[in-house]
């Protein structure tokens, strides 16, 4: 490891609802076994008490569920304003498990070697089969999950972020509650000149699940996609982006209740405040296009 890499301090934020104590303990054990300097951990109880954790792990218990982005922002603040007490923050699902002991070290080396690198998206693999779902590869060409590459977004519960990114572009959008908050941050980071990598060698084990298991999935996905476009895209691209996603949703032929919830969320996204509008520059649109995912899909 280079001298620059060893100087980088790593922290980790874990959000829990308090209903998976065994999985949380296993995750924390995998973080404690990381090579190099100790990774300081903050566990945020999102509207629930935090189960017993090992000594040295800090906890924050919130009186109500603030949603995924809100809970993670609390974790960021626990490391100081915009994470100034550390250089890198890992964000890990409480039912995940770091597959290797050198993940934190690999993060240090990656960020030290590339000053433009702002975010790393880990590969998520099923602990039993080792397989990675296509939806967990954050690019359009997702057939080979073992190929690392530059990407335009990242996975929320398996990533590392340089804390300078938060200091420069702000945290996750609290009001999103669930879905697309990562892409909102990714687009703002890319517009500020940062890069995002998908790294196949940085692995978080996580059981294979369907995102639709969340009761609010279809409504949140639709509402937040509208908010995402309204907040971040140049005006001419907003109807293009949303029209393409409307077509893709219909082609996937969801059930009637799911489609009803999706359209309800879509309407809600237009009728409700989306937060500050900061449209990305056209050169960022071109940059995203060159990276393989123009911001219309």
- Is residue 51 within 8 Å of 136, Cβ to Cβ? no
pLDDT for the residue numbered 20: 95
Q: Give 97-129 pLDDT, tens digit per residue.
A: 999 999 999 999 999 999 999 999 999 999 999
Q: What percent of the chain has pLDDT over 90?
A: 91
pLDDT for the residue numbered 4: 82
pLDDT for the residue numbered 297: 86
pLDDT for the residue numbered 137: 97
pLDDT over 90 (residue 215): no
Its domain, for residue 273, covers 212-290
- Domain with residue 204: its CATH number is 3.90.550.10
Cα 139 from Cα 42, distance rounded (Å) = 30
pTM of the predicted model as reported, rounded to 2 decimal places = 0.95
**Is 48 inside a domain boundary?**
yes
Are 75 and 198 in the same domain?
A: yes
Mean pLDDT of 274-292: 97
Q: Give 144-156 pLDDT, tens digit per residue.
A: 999 999 999 999 9
What residues have CB less than 8 Å from 287, skipping those under 6 apart? 190
Are 63 and 147 in the same domain?
A: yes
Radius of gyration of the chain (CA): 18
pLDDT for the residue numbered 78: 95
Q: Give 46-69 pLDDT, tens digit per residue.
A: 999 999 999 999 999 999 999 999
**Is 297 inside a domain boundary?**
no
pLDDT over 90 (residue 212): no
pLDDT for the residue numbered 83: 55
**Is 295 inside a domain boundary?**
no
Cα 276 from Cα 184, distance rounded (Å) = 12
pLDDT for the residue numbered 80: 83
**Is 134 inside a domain boundary?**
yes
Are 192 and 284 in the same domain?
A: no
Mean pLDDT of 23-40: 97
Mean pLDDT of 270-288: 97
pLDDT for the residue numbered 19: 92
Q: Which of 20-24, 147-151, 215-219, 262-266 has the lowest mean pLDDT?
A: 215-219
| Top-confidence residue, 297 or 120 | 120
Q: What is the mean pLDDT of the chain?
A: 95
Mean pLDDT of 25-29: 98
Instruction: Say if strands 88-93 and 195-205 run parallel, antiparallel, or are unpaired.
Output: unpaired
Are 195 and 126 in the same domain?
A: yes
Tokens representing 125? 């693999």
pLDDT over 80 (residue 295): yes
Mean pLDDT of 132-136: 95
**Is 67 inside a domain boundary?**
yes
Domain count, the chain: 2
Of 66, 68, 55, the closest CA to residue 14 belongs to: 68
């Amino acid at each position: 490891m280079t001298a620059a890499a060893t100087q980088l301090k790593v922290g980790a934020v874990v959000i829990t609802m308090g209903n998976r104590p065994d999985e949380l303990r296993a995750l924390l054990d995998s973080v404690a076994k990381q090579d190099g300097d100790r990774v300081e951990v903050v566990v945020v109880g999102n509207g629930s008490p935090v189960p017993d954790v090992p000594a040295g792990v800090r906890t924050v218990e919130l009186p109500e569920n603030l949603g995924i982005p809100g809970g993670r922002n609390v974790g960021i603040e626990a490391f100081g304003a915009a994470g100034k007490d550390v250089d890198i923050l890992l964000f890990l699902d409480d039912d995940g498990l770091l597959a290797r002991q050198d993940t934190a070290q690999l993060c240090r080396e990656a960020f030290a070697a590339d000053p433009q690198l702002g975010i790393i998206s880990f590969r998520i693999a099923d602990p039993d089969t080792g397989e990675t779902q296509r939806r967990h590869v954050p690019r359009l060409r997702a057939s080979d999950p073992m190929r690392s590459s530059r990407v335009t977004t990242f996975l929320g519960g398996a990533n590392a972020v340089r804390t300078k990114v938060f200091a420069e572009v702000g945290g996750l959008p609290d009001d999103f509650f669930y879905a697309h908050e990562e892409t909102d941050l990714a687009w703002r980071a890319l517009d500020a000149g940062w890069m995002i990598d998908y790294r196949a060698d940085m692995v978080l084990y996580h059981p294979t699940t369907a995102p639709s298991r969340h009761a609010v999935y279809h409504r949140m996905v639709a509402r937040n996609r509208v908010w995402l476009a309204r907040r971040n895209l140049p005006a001419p691209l907003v109807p293009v982006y949303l029209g393409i996603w409307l077509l893709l949703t219909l082609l996937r032929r969801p059930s009637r209740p799911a489609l009803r919830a999706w359209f309800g969320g879509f309407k809600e996204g237009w009728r409700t405040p989306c937060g500050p509008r900061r449209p990305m520059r056209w050169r960022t649109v071109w940059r995203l296009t060159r990276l393989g995912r123009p911001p219309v899909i």
